[in-house]
Homo-oligomer: A and B are copies of this chain.
Amino acid sequence: MSLGRKLRMGMVGGGKGAFIGPVHRIAAELDGKIELVAGAFSQSPERSREAGIAFHIDPARAYPSYQAMIDAERNRADGIDFVVITTPNHLHLPIARAAITADIPVMSDKPATATYEEALELETLVKKSGLPYGLTHTYAGYQLVREARAILAAGALGSIRKVAVEYLQGWLSTPLEGTGHKQAEWRADPARSGKGGSIGDIGTHAFHLVEYVSGLKVTAINATLRRVVPGRVLDDDCNAFLRMSNGSAGSLACSQIAAGEINEVRIRIYGEKGSIDWRQQDPNRLVVKWLDKPEEIHHASSGYLTAGVRALSRTPAGHPEGYLEAFAVLYSEFADALIAWKQGEKNPVPATLPGIEAGVRGMRFIERVIESDQKQAWVEF
């Protein structure tokens, strides 16, 4: 299934100093299915132009604004096939809305929007449009996260009884947002980030991961938030209890003041017969522990992985893949879905690729955590 050409991507965000824009560019192009051809890389036309040069795209296609990009590209014969959104959160909805209105599919960084209400609006837009929409919950792209999901779905560990997910960082242990640090600045500012601090930035990843791997939904949450660094407006630490749709339970923790942790994403899920344990910083090993058998290490790219999952890696076993490759898995799935959609398929986005439903749940997670923290009680999800 091919168009005989690469898909054309137009990026919003990703100008100089951006972290996630270049990551999207690499990930999108990695599997040879997509090429970056246009962009509105900055709200400054000059910086957008400079980024276009750095990305080696046609200077005419480095636009001063996302609206300009959408307007111009929809009228080109070789116009973009989709928009990728890599801006701060408050711009996610307006950009997505503009793209969808112009009939252009969207791949978006998470969270889907800045507020829950926006997410609901976006969901309506996406569903009405029938356009493919993808959300880059990167951790869902790791091969061994997929393997863990497959093992649980197959029931190999019996019913799930307990979950534990954590996402710990230490980089906001000091008031970095007051020092001119661009990444820290917008994340700490409710106007650009939304109501959630750590829970929006990384808690949503943890929340998505636990639902994604377990195949269960969170049905209730009891959370406690903190603003540990003096002067900080948004939360920088969260502990939460979870109740899951099958009656099991567990915990979610996220923090950006866990000094010494760099990016500790870990998920453990316990069934009746055993458990899985995966750490993002050691991503090519999945630990499977059993009640009565030796612990197992499942290595990425191995022949014994679940069919389908095995195909996700590009290198033989023992040649580590990482964050960019996980990201690229999501883009590869999005590209395949886009081609299928262009060829007339109705709902081509596979269940493995996080979409707008995941986006809505993520935004609801932020709402519910804040509500629970305010009430200091369980809230239904």
Interface residues of A (CB under 8 A from B): 2, 4-6, 19, 22-23, 25-26, 29-32, 53-56, 157, 161-162, 164, 169-171, 173-174, 222, 224, 226, 228, 237, 239, 241, 249-251, 253, 255, 257-264, 270-275, 277, 280-284, 288-299, 302-304, 314-325, 376-378
Query: How distant is A282 from chain B, measured CB to nearest CB, in Å?
Result: 7
- Interchain CB contact under 8 A, A259 and B30: no
- Interchain CB contact under 8 A, B299 and A294: yes
- Interchain CB contact under 8 A, A22 and B314: yes
Query: How distant is A18 from chain B, measured CB to nearest CB, in Å?
Result: 12
Residues of B contacting A263 in the complex (Cβ-Cβ under 8 angstroms):
316-319
With A263-B319, A320-B322, A376-B377 known, 6 other A-B pairs at CB within 8 A are A259-B291, A260-B274, A260-B291, A262-B302, A319-B322, A321-B323
**Among B30, B224, B295, contact of A296 (Cβ-Cβ < 8 Å):** B295
Residues of B contacting A32 in the complex (Cβ-Cβ under 8 angstroms):
22, 25-26, 29, 54-56
Chain B residue nearest to A225 in the complex (CB): B249
Q: Complex formed: what's the CA distance from A14 to B223 in Å?
A: 44
**Among B274, B292, B294, contact of A297 (Cβ-Cβ < 8 Å):** B294
Known: A56-B32, A274-B259. A294 touches B302 (CB 8 A): yes
Chain B residue nearest to A157 in the complex (CB): B259
**Among B6, B250, B281, contact of A284 (Cβ-Cβ < 8 Å):** B281
Query: How distant is A15 from chain B, measured CB to nearest CB, in Å?
Result: 14
Residues of B contacting A22 in the complex (Cβ-Cβ under 8 angstroms):
32, 314
Chain B residue nearest to A262 in the complex (CB): B318
Chain B residue nearest to A248 in the complex (CB): B228
- Interchain CB contact under 8 A, A228 and B378: no
Chain B residue nearest to A26 in the complex (CB): B30
Query: Can you give 8 contacting A-B residue pairs, CB < 8 Å?
Result: A4-B53, A6-B56, A22-B314, A25-B32, A26-B32, A257-B270, A262-B302, A376-B377
